[in-house]
Amino acid sequence: QVQLAESGGGLVQAGGSLRISCAALSGIFSRHSVAWFRQAPGKGRELVAAASWTGRDTKYGDFVEGRFALSRDNANSTMYLQMNNLKPEDTGVYYCAASIRIGIIVDAIHYQYWGQGTQVTVSS
């Protein structure tokens, strides 16, 4: 069982940067593949970024276009999403997730553990 908790969301102007964090409060975080998803009002949950358990392999949603970077610190059971050049369409609730599956996991259905989400709002 892995308990996840996000932090660091907030309000930022378009073009600005924000780093959100996800801490594993329990469980063996380093043995899980991880990801960030987001959900905008009235829309479904979409993949922002995913990483293998080592963090060496990553995959990003097409909309990221090099603006975001996922990193993980297994020693401290934490992962981060650095977001640069934010756009109003990046607004949404950002969730971190962990999966017992190996590799890059892109489908939300394959993630067993989820955080409660953190709100990111980008003003124009």
Tens of pLDDT, residue by residue over 101-116, are 989 999 999 999 999 9
CA nearest to 121, candidates 96, 84, 88: 88
Tens-place pLDDT, residues 28-75: 778 899 999 999 989 999 999 999 988 889 999 999 999 999 999 989
What is the structure's pLDDT at 114? 96
Q: Which are the contacts of 75, defined by CB distance < 8 A and separation ≥ 6?
A: none
What is the structure's pLDDT at 86? 98
What's the distance, CA 73 to chain centroid?
A: 14
What is the structure's pLDDT at 91? 97
What is the structure's pLDDT at 53? 86
**In this model, does residue 27 exceed pLDDT 80?**
no
**In this model, does residue 19 exceed pLDDT 90?**
yes
**Around 89, how many Cα atoms within 13 Å sit in the side-chain half-sphere?**
4
